Copies of this chain bind each other. A is one copy, B any other.
Amino acid sequence: MGKIWANSGDSHLVEPENLFAERLPADLAERMPRSVRDDDGRHETLYIDGKVYRRRMPGGHLVDEAGKTVDQRAPGANDPNLRLQDLDGEGIWGEVVYPSLGIWTASVEDPLLVRAGCAAVNDWAIEYQAVSPRYVCTAMIPLLDIADAVHEIERTAGMGFKAAFFPVAPPGENRDWNRDEWEPVWSALEETATVVGFHIGTEPLEASGTTGLYFRGPGGALMNYMETTYGGQRAVTKMIASGVFDRHPALKVLVSEGGATWGPFVADRLDEAYRQHANAVRPPLPRLPSEYLYENVYASFQHDRSAVAAMTAMGWRNVLWGSDYPHLEGTFGHTQNTLHELFDDVDAASRDRITQGAFAELFPHVPPAPASEV
């Protein structure tokens, strides 16, 4: 069985615990998110900006069946040199690498603190990225203040970031992605050719709840996992519907870990809405919604068989594969099996587009992946 090489549209790093202590003044550092695990291994205490939350660890994400945490399971997750060994073993070449700390910023209400924290993470992450041209780290953007966001987009682009991590819904009330206030942010992203990386599961829920817990009761785990995809679809819908891609045709968006089969579906549904309810649509769009989705939006999946057909049968060329390394939903440990199951019956051109080409289109600076041996 020959090796399939794939770029990943969805990977993660784990920040070192002392990141803020080393890079921020003490008075700011102590207000930044910090997690202390209980001895029982199942609960953690979060300290964020003077608030204390004790909660169950988000079990599905951080502990595998053998009880191993992410960093025990995949030591490469927080060591950029070890990581390359994991990637080579799995057959993963380039990676869009998301932060792990990001989601907690939703619990910080002080724009100054968010700004300082994002800058500290970015200053650290660019060193991680510098270890290999295969790493496309995503810059954290302070979203509580528009001017801060624009400034950090421009600053991180200057440092060499090619993508920015965005939550699927912005922090704060009534600040959805369809609102005009974000216009300077889209402009800055477009002008710096920074790809917007929406990672699903990042609705800005308070740390007091368990992020991603939408439902309880029988079937809850499956229901909650399903629910996470909708946030990514919504973020894209809001941008298309409010004309963001009409005003910023060069802006590219990647939705990571939410699957990809939804793309042609959302495109069709928005077209139906646009044609059948044309008199209620504001702003008017000069092109059909599907055209923006097919051109400006990309999405990554891990295991979904139907995602391949979203490209081969439905014509959406912006489907990326993603490993979700090192998370449990991902393919670490069985990547080659997964890739062969997905692509052995697929023509080489389609396989190469999904495993390599769509990623390369977003990030042409990354050296080409090795040819797959099949």
Question: Which residues on A are within 8 Å of B, measured CB to CB?
Answer: 59-60, 65, 176, 178-180, 215, 217-223, 225-227, 229-230, 233-234, 237-238, 240-243, 259, 261-262, 264-283, 289, 301-307, 309, 312-314, 328-330
Instruction: Decide if B65 touches A271 in the complex (CB within 8 Å).
Output: no
Chain B residues lying within 8 Å of A282, measured Cβ to Cβ, are 218-221
Shortest distance from the beta carbon of A27 to any chain B beta carbon, whole Å: 38
Chain B residues lying within 8 Å of A306, measured Cβ to Cβ, are 264-265, 267-268, 314
Assembled-state Cα–Cα distance A339/B234 (Å):
29
Instruction: Decide if B272 touches A268 in the complex (CB within 8 Å).
Output: no
Instruction: Decide if B276 touches A268 in the complex (CB within 8 Å).
Output: no
The contact of A222 among B176, B281, B328, by CB within 8 Å, is: B281
Chain B residues lying within 8 Å of A237, measured Cβ to Cβ, are 219, 222-223, 226
Between A and B, 8 residue pairs with Cβ closer than 8 Å are: A218-B243, A221-B273, A223-B241, A226-B233, A259-B269, A268-B307, A272-B302, A309-B314
Assembled-state Cα–Cα distance A251/B269 (Å):
28
Instruction: Decide if A265 touches B268 in the complex (CB within 8 Å).
Output: no
Assembled-state Cα–Cα distance A272/B261 (Å):
14
Chain B residues lying within 8 Å of A176, measured Cβ to Cβ, are 215, 217
Determine how many copies of this chain the complex contains.
2
Chain B residues lying within 8 Å of A243, measured Cβ to Cβ, are 218-219
Instruction: Decide if A59 touches B229 in the complex (CB within 8 Å).
Output: no
Instruction: Decide if B178 touches A218 in the complex (CB within 8 Å).
Output: yes
Instruction: Decide if A328 touches B269 in the complex (CB within 8 Å).
Output: no
A217-B230 contact given A277-B60, A314-B313, A329-B272, CB 8 Å threshold: no
Instruction: Decide if A234 touches B227 in the complex (CB within 8 Å).
Output: yes
Chain B residues lying within 8 Å of A270, measured Cβ to Cβ, are 222, 225-226
Instruction: Decide if A180 touches B221 in the complex (CB within 8 Å).
Output: no
Closest to A303 in B: B272
Chain B residues lying within 8 Å of A271, measured Cβ to Cβ, are 303
Closest to A268 in B: B304
Assembled-state Cα–Cα distance A238/B60 (Å):
19
Chain B residues lying within 8 Å of A262, measured Cβ to Cβ, are 261-262, 265
Instruction: Decide if B234 touches A222 in the complex (CB within 8 Å).
Output: no
Instruction: Decide if B283 touches A219 in the complex (CB within 8 Å).
Output: yes
Which of A179, A289, A309 has the most B CB atoms < 10 Å from its CB?
A: A309
Instruction: Decide if B219 touches A305 in the complex (CB within 8 Å).
Output: no
Closest to A275 in B: B303
The contact of A178 among B223, B238, B265, B309, by CB within 8 Å, is: B223
Closest to A329 in B: B276
Which of A234, A265, A279 has the most B CB atoms < 10 Å from its CB?
A: A265
Instruction: Decide if B261 touches A242 in the complex (CB within 8 Å).
Output: no
Assembled-state Cα–Cα distance A230/B231 (Å):
11
Instruction: Decide if B178 touches A283 in the complex (CB within 8 Å).
Output: no
Closest to A267 in B: B306
A241-B219 contact given A226-B270, A272-B304, A314-B313, CB 8 Å threshold: yes
